[in-house]
Amino acid sequence: MKKGIIIPFLLCWLAGNAQLFNDGAVMIIVEDAQVGVRQTNMINDGDIRHEGFLLVDSSITNNNNWTCSNSINSTTHFGKHWYNNANYLPGIGLVRLIGNTQFIGGSNLTNFYDLILEGPALTLKRMDNHIVVHDYLNLKDAELATTQYEALMESTATAIGRNSGFVSTDYLGRLNRKFEKGNANDNLFPLGRRVGNQVAYSPIILHAAGGTTFRTAFIYEDAAVYGMSTISVDDSLCTVNDEFFHIVGSTTAQNTEYSILWEDANDWATLGDWQTPWTKIPGSTLTDFNGDPGLRAPQYPTSVDMPVAMATERPHVTMNPNVYEVRPMESVELRPDYYVPGNVNYQWTPADHLSCDDCEYPVYTAGEPGVYTITVDNGAGCFDSDTVRIILDRNGMGIFTPTAFTPNNDDLNEKFLPVVQEYVEIVDFQVYNRWGERLYQGVDGWDGTYKGELVQIGVYVWVVVVNEFLGSGETRTSEQKGTITVIR
């Protein structure tokens, strides 16, 4: 037959470095009872039924049954460690961890209803097994270190409070929250990592999810440590953060929308996930959440635990068209197709005949033909370039020549001279017969005679030298050749 202990009033055991055993008895801490266990570890091998107040400033070990009331708010404070090796039913009870470095462990996971972590800033509360919180978790200023285990907030209604506290994880550890269908609230995952005496705080805000458990982690290490090289990126990305990364996932295949906050998020432009290699998450972009910078992934499928990192995008440029035909006095705007996330630098080379060499769309004013290169650089070591060829429109040289003329003294078509536009000047004009004998040289036009006599009907060769006055202010000298037929 079990022994019974009913505790209706304040009891204190002061037995330094001793242990208080409940060796098989039924211990009932009734409502309004206050029990203090000082400088003594408490070990339960019996049956505890808790409705009152229990303070243990050392460790608690539960090896059998511990039941908190479902109708009365019980309270348990302990100053060192918690080991649950059997059945602990939290009821609607409150548990406070009031010491400095404390462990939550044992062979069984522990369910808490309300859990509050007390202590000065950066007080460590380390998990050595999984925990579940059903109603409220208040981190205050403490670090809840999940290590390799998982902390689950059991429902959408489970709130997380904090002052400066945070949840840290190892690669296998997780901070999880369960959501019912229809949830569209902003939900905090206060992830961080102790770095010396400082905290690298990078929470996740889940904006929309339902009917799933959302799983998160913050790993303050280079992802390459886990086989995910940050220099292995596809064509959509330029660089990936090698300082830290996150893990996001859910227990069901569905789209979720979330933001990852970081004080220097503006140094990045997008989010990438590890798909061997790192690949841009479609639609992810810079955001601002209540004044805190971050990066947002809209409606992203997270059916598996996916490593996610902040990244910069690779700029792209394509010349379309990549060939321009330009007349001597003509100007044309060069208009590449750009994809330039964030701030980029533009550089055109060579700069000759361009209105600018560091702008998006320079104006080319006809000069020498050639090849121009546009390079876009995002300042993070990534760039892209393309080329455009400028060619001279031969039909636009400003020189026009007939194919025949009739020097027959009828005052029609009596002279042959190339016709030029106003920006072209004839410097020299010569006519030769088929034996290479020069018949004419000048700039006034050939009248079809040689040494005062009309030449025979036939084909003759002409050569003209001209100056073209280009829109760039330069003068280009060129030579053209052709044939003319004399007829009568």
Coil, strand, or helix at residue 121?
coil
pLDDT the model gives residue 19: 57
Alpha carbon distances (Å) from 178 to 25, 203, 481: 37, 17, 84
- Asked if residue 82 has pLDDT above 50, the reply is yes
pLDDT the model gives residue 344: 85
The answer to whether the 316-394 and 397-486 domains have the same CATH topology is yes
Yes or no: say if 29 and 56 are a contact pair by the CB < 8 Å rule: no
| 10: confidence class by pLDDT, cuts 50, 70, 90 | very low
CA of residue 234 relative to chain centroid, distance: 13
Residue 146 tokens, joined: 């999940």
Of 355, 387, 352, the closest CA to residue 372 belongs to 387
Tally Cβ neighbours within 10 Å of residue 97: 25
pTM for this predicted structure: 0.75
| 183: confidence class by pLDDT, cuts 50, 70, 90 | low
Look-up: residue for tokens 């859990």?
A: 115
What are the phi and psi torsion angles at 396 (to 5°)?
-115, 25
- Class of the domain covering 316-394: mainly beta
Separation of alpha carbons 84 and 64, rounded Å: 9
Separation of alpha carbons 96 and 74, rounded Å: 11
* Sequence letter at residue 237: L
- Beta partners for 88? 66
Can you give the residue ranges of every domain in the chain?
A: 4-313, 316-394, 397-486
- List CB contacts of 480: < 8 A, sequence separation 6 or more: 397, 399, 418, 463, 464, 466
pLDDT the model gives residue 472: 59
pLDDT the model gives residue 11: 47
Provide mean pLDDT across the span 364-390.
Answer: 87
What one-character DSSP code corresponds to residue 191? B
Coil, strand, or helix at residue 265?
helix
Coil, strand, or helix at residue 148?
coil
CATH code at 397-486: 2.60.40
Residues 48, 52, 53, 54, Cα dihedral to 10°: -10
The residue that leads in pLDDT, 42 or 9, is 42
Of 239, 236, 232, 311, the closest CA to residue 269 belongs to 311
Measure the N-to-C terminal CA separation of the chain; round to a whole number of Å: 142
| Longest alpha-carbon distance in the chain | 149
Separation of alpha carbons 352 and 372, rounded Å: 9
- Beta partners for 316? 339
- For the stretch 192-226, pLDDT in tens is 999 988 999 999 998 866 678 889 999 999 999 99
- For the stretch 123-175, pLDDT in tens is 999 999 999 999 999 999 999 999 999 999 987 777 899 999 999 999 999 99
- For the stretch 235-282, pLDDT in tens is 889 899 999 999 998 887 677 789 999 999 988 989 999 999 999 999
